[in-house]
Amino acid sequence: DVKVTQSSRYLVKRTGEKVFLECVQDMDHENMFWYRQDPGLGLRLIYFSYDVKMKEKGDIPEGYSVSREKKERFSLILESASTNQTSMYLCASSPLVPIAYGGGYTFGSGTRLTVV
Amino acid sequence: DQQVKQNSPSLSVQEGRISILNCDYTNSMFDYFLWYKKYPAEGPTFLISISSIKDKNEDGRFTVFLNKSAKHLSLHIVPSQPGDSAVYFCAASVAGGTSYGKLTFGQGTILTVHP
């Protein structure tokens, strides 16, 4: 069963802390994505990567950075956590041309991050 | 600037009846559309998709309709079942180029199907 695994289901961090969210996929997918989900706003793209060491900003990259040192792993970094970064974070992966494969992403189960 | 909009935050239907979830988009470059379903504490799962060269795609109880001139798509679930209760997200993409399959999502609609 193919999987996208997010390292933590729930996290509580203090304001100003550096936070790492980890995501691993076992499908040999080229593309990986980080989204955040907030009520009334849906899923918003933070960053994505289409190859090792490659990254592109999404719609809301401010306050975040990413790292992709290996094909299967994509990390989201909150440089200095703030309360407005309290959210559900979702990682996803897809083949390089997902539409050719039916178009779908595979999502992880999400990390609920609370910044206090 | 919300390029994909789901204007109904919630929808409640009776078991066995039809559920219709709506989605509007503003970017005329979008040419591939998808619906995802999300249960609490789980990631979204892919449900059904449609290319802009079609106006209808069907998969079992689920049918997606696309009206390009109106920049509108809808998901029909017939008959609705209590297990369909979830959040439904509409998503859109520009096929090819340097989009890398990047999806733009709507806000989501909470569907509740009552027994």
d(CA A5, CA A25): 6
Burial class (CB in 10 A: 0-12, 13-18, 19+), B95: middle
B5, exposed or middle or buried, with CB in 10 Å at 0-12, 13-18, 19+?
middle
Q: Read off the tokens for B18.
A: 């039809």
The mean predicted confidence, pLDDT, of chain A is 92
Q: Is the pLDDT confidence value at A102 over 90?
A: no
Q: How far is CA B77 from CA A2, B22, B114, in A?
A: 27, 12, 14
Categorize the per-residue pLDDT at B102 as very low, low, confident or very high, splitting at 50, 70 and 90: confident
Those of residues 54-83 in B touching chain A at CB distance below 8 A are none
Average pLDDT (A91-112) is 82
Look at residue A73 in the predicted model and tell me its pLDDT: 97
- Mean pLDDT across chain B, nearest whole number? 92
Nearest CA in chain B to A58: B102
Closest partner CB to B42 (pick from A48, A94, A109): A109
Q: Are A76 and A64 in contact (CB under 8 A)?
A: yes
Percent of chain A with pLDDT over 90: 78
A44 touches chain B (CB under 8 A): yes
Average pLDDT over residues A15-21: 97
User: Residues A75-97: what's their mean pLDDT?
Assistant: 94
**pLDDT range class, residue A1, cuts 50, 70, 90:** low
Residue pLDDT, tens place only, B25-48: 999 989 899 999 999 888 999 999
Bond into B79 cis (ω within 30): yes
pLDDT higher than 80, residue A2:
no
Tell whether the model's pLDDT for residue B100 goes beyond 80. Answer: no
Which tokens hold the place of B90?
A: 């509409």
Of B34, B41, B105, Cβ closest to residue A109: B41
- Mean pLDDT, residues A87-108: 82
Residue of B nearest to A49 (CA): B100
Mean pLDDT, residues B49-63: 94
Give the per-residue pLDDT at A97: 72
